[in-house]
Every structure is written in structure tokens, then in C-alpha cells.
Amino acid sequence: MHEKTIAQLSASLATGEFSSEELTRALLERVERFNPSLNAFITVTAESALAQARAADERRRQGAAGLLTGIPIAHKDIFCTDGVRTSCGSRILDRFIAPYNATVVERLNAAGAVMLGKTNMDEFAMGSSNETSFYGPVRNPWDLDAVPGGSSGGSAAAVAARLTPGATGTDTGGSIRQPAALCGITGIKPTYGRVSRWGMIAYASSLDQGGPMARTAEDCALLLGAMAGFDLRDSTSVDRPAPDYAALLDQPLTGLKIGLPKEYFGEGLDSAVARVVEDAIAEYRKLGAETVEISLPNSHLAIPAYYVVAPAECSSNLARFDGVRYGHRCENPKDLLDLYTRSRGEGFGAEVQRRILVGTFALSAGYYDAYYLKAQQIRRLISDDFRQAFAQVDVIMGPTSPTVAFNLGEKVDDPITMYLSDIYTIAVNLAGLPGLSLPVGFVGQRPVGLQVIGDYFTEDRLLNVAHRYQQVTDWHQRAPTAFA
């Protein structure tokens, strides 16, 4: 059962090959067996998962089942889940029990999905390797000495190891696409505002976006179909109908114009990764697509702009964690100032503290214009580059990450080098565009991802482009030997 995709599981449940309860038990057994070596889950909700599965089976008997009814999934531990710990990978929220469900959780519950548990993540989604979690690093199923990518590394590792057929993630600067690439799965960051952020604990409010992670584009289409849509409770939600993503997957690619940014294929890209990506692009030409060289001249400014904007927003968003209302509180504070400083100092890890300090400095009197305002101006230039590119092409392609997964501990003491892991993904968030990563090969035993970027609200096109490739290749079917 664990070898099947969401689409295949849905078909098997519909024919009665097995029940949701049987499927859920089988996957919970895999989680119990393999999670100790992967550390992909922070919390496993076995009892409630089985209750949800039994309810899904009853729903099916009554003839009220949908495509996701009875399908087990996992949620990144950044989405609030009613009555279940929601930690954000941080000590400061280690004992926080959310009193409500995030909209994403609500909608997937309504679609009949079964929650297996909450997945590990970089603390408050700040990281590119899933090594900043209070609960320890996640390991890559393809090589347990390697990182899975971050911040949605727990979700990516759980899907790649066949512990769950699908999972939710969030993407602030590449945190769905980069771990999807490093773990050999498919993940899509929708257009900013397409998926509600209500109940998703904020890192950088103008950049964060939730999305699905699964083995195939078809599975991502099914999950995104349930997740997407307007939400009155989210002021950043866009009131625009979402199409039936699954119905549009099989469109031919004849005449598709693919832009290849020269900036994505130059210095900094590992030569072996480049060869794999170029082979994938050649496959698209066989499918009838045309490639055009384009330029995104301000892309080299994406990382410095991002690391002003995102920390500035995080310094504001994380001010609420003060040891007073909820979350970690220090022991025996001398006064209010001591309560604040020790609670936050004990509760936040080093990377979170670093970004809060950077953000507070960028927003401080005398530096706002020099840093934050300038970063926002650069953000506009980056958006303009994409706008001009999409006047010429339908989608943009390039590597998701400049390298394959690196070893645990390799970059943990060098934050600048770590930040460069997201060099090809960050600009997409700054512009608010949709982006997808799909597996296209390996360098040694470690997967390589291809990034496909689309114009605003063209998730259907991205999923179609990925699906057509997956129909003629089998990279998405490969499983790590130890978890097959």
C-alpha cells in the first residue's frame, strides 16, 4: 500500500481493495518503524488518525466520498491543529496545544483526509537544511548522512520514505521546493494569496505561502484542489476561483515556450547538477516545447533583499512570544524585563535569534531607509524582471538548488553559505509567483530537482508541465532502497 500514490490509493479505496483504516494502520506502522532513524515527525496522532479513517470508511459506505476521502497525510508543524501540539520546531512552543485548526487543515479535513501527525521543520521555518529544529535534525531518506533541505524537511523526508503519500509544507524563500528537490519528490508553492495563511504561524507575512508536497504532480493537484481558495479570515487571501487542477493535467505541451535564465546556469551551479537539469530540459523539447534564453538581471540581488525583508517581518511577528500569554516561560523571573529576555533567550534557537536581531536592526531609526526600504525597491525590480520575462515565455525553468543535498553539519556554522542554498528559489517569493520542483535525476545517490516558475495564478500550467514530464520518465517513482 505504501508504494501507491495518492491517485492510486484513491482508486484502490474506491474499489474496496482495502479500507482507509487498513491503509492508515499500515502507514502508522511504517512511521513507528522508520521515524527513529529519520526524525521526520515531531508528533504522531495515531489514535485520532484511526478515528478519522473509520469515519472516512463510513462516509464511503454512505456514498459521500471524494477523491481525498480516507487518504492519510501529514501536516508541517507550523499549521495549527485543534487539540494537538503545534510547536513550529521551537522550544518556545514545545507545550503549545492549538485551540483551533488552520484553514488548510480545516479544508483537508473536510475533504476527508486523515492526519497521521505533524512533521519536523526548521525552527519557525528559518533554515535551508532542517537542522535548526529544537527536536533535532531530519535526515534525508536517500542518504542518512545528508540533510533533507528545509524548512519543510520533515514533510519531504516523510513523503520520500513512503511514510505518508502526501504532506503540507510552507515556502517563504524556497522551503517547499528546495526540500522537494533534495528528497526527490514534487512540491509546489502557489501564488501568494492562493492558499489561506490563517492558522499558519507567521515567519515573514508577505512571503509565507502554504502548499502541497507529494510524489507526483497529479497528487499535488489533488491536494492543492482541496487547499486553495478564498478565506475571509485571511486578509492576504485572494478572492479568485481556483480551477480544477487535476482536470487540466493532460494538456499537450506543443508550442510551450520555456524561458531559461542565463543567470541560473552560470557560476555557483554544480556542473553535475547542471547536466541533469539540461537533460530534463531536452526531454521537454521532445515533448514539443520550445526553449528561449532569457535574462533576470536583478536575480543576484534576491538573497540580500530577502535577508532584509524576511528578518524584518520575523522580528515583528515573533514579538508576540514573550513568555506572558503562551509558550515557554523562564523560571522565577526577577521582573518583567527579565521575564521577556530570559523566556525569549531560552525559547528561541540561534538562527531565530540571529534573524530577529538582523530584522530589528533593519527596522530601527536611521536604518529603515538604508536597508528595509531599499530591499523593497529591489523586490519591485525583481518582480519587473519576471513580468518582462513572462511577456516572452509561458514558464521559466532552471535548477531548484545549486547542489544536491549536503551532509549534516557541513554548513551549520556558515550561515552565508547556507543562505546560498536558496539562490534560485527566493526571487519567486519576493515576486509572489508560483513555483514547482519535480525530480529529474540523481548525482550519485542524491536527487536533483528541476524548478518550474509560472506567472501569477498559473499553478494549473505548472502542474500540467510537471505531469507531462512524469508521464514519460520514472524519476518520481524511485524510492530510497532502505525505505522501499
Instruction: Give 87-136 pLDDT, tens digit per residue.
Output: 999 999 999 999 999 999 999 999 999 999 999 999 999 999 999 999 99
* Model confidence, pTM: 0.97
pLDDT of residue 71: 98
Write down the mean pLDDT value for the chain: 97
* C-alpha to C-alpha distance for 26 and 40, rounded to whole angstroms: 17
* Averaged pLDDT, 166-182: 98
From the centroid of its chain, how far is CA 58?
A: 32
Under 8 Å CB-to-CB from 479, ≥6 apart: which residues?
3, 160, 162
* Confidence at residue 33, expressed as pLDDT on a 0 to 100 scale: 98
The share of the chain scoring above pLDDT 90, in percent, equals 95
Percentage of the chain beyond pLDDT 70 is 100
Rounded to the nearest 5°, which phi and psi values hold at 309? -65, -50
- pLDDT tens for 52-95 read 999 999 999 999 999 999 999 999 999 999 999 999 999 999 99
Which residues are catalytic, by number? Answer: 76, 151, 175
Q: What is the CATH number of domain 6-252+463-483?
A: 3.90.1300.10
Are residues 389 and 455 in contact, defined by beta-carbon separation less than 8 angstroms?
no
Q: What is the pLDDT of residues 266-282, one digit of tens each?
A: 989 999 999 999 999 99
Mean pLDDT lowest for which of 20-24, 266-270, 291-295? 266-270
User: pLDDT by residue (tens digit) across 194-213?
Assistant: 999 999 999 999 999 999 99
Q: Nearest Cα to 5, choosing from 112, 179, 164, 157?
A: 164
249-267 average pLDDT score: 96
Which residues are within 8 A (CB) of 133 and not within 5 positions of it... i.e. 6 or more apart? 42, 89, 120, 121, 122, 123
Q: Is the pLDDT of residue 377 over 90?
A: yes
- For 164-173, 296-305, 332-341, 406-415, which range has the lowest pLDDT when averaged over its residues? 406-415
pLDDT at res. 17: 98
For residue 365, pLDDT over 90 is answered with no
pLDDT of residue 484: 83
Label residue 176 by pLDDT band (50, 70, 90): very high
Residue 83's closest CA among 93, 96, 104, 98?
98
Confidence of residue 418 (pLDDT cuts 50, 70, 90): confident
Please say if the pLDDT value at position 234 is more than 90.
Answer: yes
Q: What single letter denotes the amino acid at residue 472?
A: V
Domain ranges of the chain: 6-252+463-483
What pLDDT score was predicted for residue 412? Answer: 85
pLDDT of residue 413: 84
Q: How confident is the model at residue 416 (pLDDT cuts 50, 70, 90)?
A: confident
